[in-house]
Structure 1
Amino acid sequence: MTKHDDLAQRRQAPLTTPTDLGEEARAELAGGLRILLADVFALYLKTKNFHWHVSGPHFRDYHLLLDEQSDELFAITDPIAERARKLGGTALRSIGQIARLQRLSDNDADFVDAKDMLAELRQDNQALVVSLRQLHELCDEKGDVATASLIENWIDEAERRVWFLFESTR
């Protein structure tokens, strides 16, 4: 075998990390994490969009709140992707893949009222909580306690975002 053949063979090697969860569990859990990652990136960018474009009498408070929330969302992207890889799956590879997989809608409007921004983000974060709970159920079903443990923290963080957004619009 030549050096060239060895390199070609390594390039074609699957990214499948060994796990005792089985092929079906691996595929379902990693797929669920990939879709979750697409949703989190979509929500991150929408939160940043609103952070950049918020205006009005509560500008400073909303601007800082949305910056904090977008940082929190971005902070979980790497753990989600790495968990998918630990399970032998793949993470996202492109913005196009995010667009194909995301379940949360974008907002490209030229102007959105600040209260409408917060209400939309509250709904999106609540939808994220629902998705996280569903993925947690899959983890329980497949015996993936490590992913379930991470998801429990992400649910708590998302519920906190929902709470802050809800209270800010009352």
Structure 2
Amino acid sequence: MSTSPSAPRGSTVNPALATPTDLSPDGVAAIAAQLRGLLADAFALYVKTKNFHWHMSGPHFRDYHLLLDEQAGQVFAMTDDLAERARKIGGTSLRSIGDIARHQRLRDNDEDFVGPREMLAELAADNQELTRLLRAAHDVCDEHRDVATASLIENWIDEAERRTWFLFETAGRG
């Protein structure tokens, strides 16, 4: 069973929720913490992408609107896998909007107006930062020999790199 005494809230697993795993308790705590951060970042990126999707304007509205909707769907699709992976290894996941806010590293954008190219450039930078965070989480998985989580992360890195590429090309050359 996986518990981590004196760990921050969310990394100690109630015995009723503990899932058997062959990963060490330290590995579970470290990997679950990475997954919680990634999950919070995925939710933050999803909401920002939808925000920009909803508030898009200008002559390329339709193309940008559709691109951001597609990308938001892809980011949202990560969330269940991130949360469930934390539970599969004996860790815990996020519990609330407040929990997301405490763990997210990507910044929100609450501006009244953001121009289309600025939206695309900001999302490209956020996806690039998510790629960096995913690579760091992959390193933690490698350290604790969690190949299953590492494998999922490798796919998400590829998806984030693709989103970055599309946003960069659209903002920088569109």
What is the TM-score normalised by the length of structure 2?
Answer: 0.90
* Partners of 1:95 and 1:113 in 2: CA distance: 27
Report the Cα offset of residue 91 of structure 1: 1.1
CA RMSD of aligned residues (A): 0.8
* Partners of 2:68 and 2:132 in 1: CA distance: 21
1:82-101 equivalences under 5 Å are 82-101=84-103
Q: Give the AA of the match of 1:51.
A: H
2:57 to 55, 58, 61: 55
The percentage of counterpart residues that share the same residue type is 69
Residue 80 of structure 1 pairs with residue 85 of structure 2: no
3-state SS of 1:54 partner = coil
Report the Cα offset of residue 13 of structure 1: 3.8
Q: Which residue of 2 aligns with 1:41?
A: 43
* Partners of 2:19 and 2:123 in 1: CA distance: 35
What are the Cα deviations for residues 34-84 of structure 1, in whole angstroms up to 9, with x where unaligned? 110000000000000000000001000000000000000001100000000
Q: Which residue of 1 aligns with 2:66?
A: 64
Report the Cα offset of residue 14 of structure 1: 3.5
Q: Which residue of 2 aligns with 1:5?
A: none
3-state SS of 2:153 partner = helix
Q: Which residue of 2 aligns with 1:6?
A: none
Unpaired stretches in structure 1, ≥5 consecutive residues: 1-11
What is the TM-score normalised by the length of structure 1?
Answer: 0.92
Structure with greater proportional helix content: 1
Q: Which residue of 1 aligns with 2:30?
A: 28
Q: Which residue of 1 aligns with 2:123?
A: 121
Q: Which residue of 1 aligns with 2:159?
A: 157
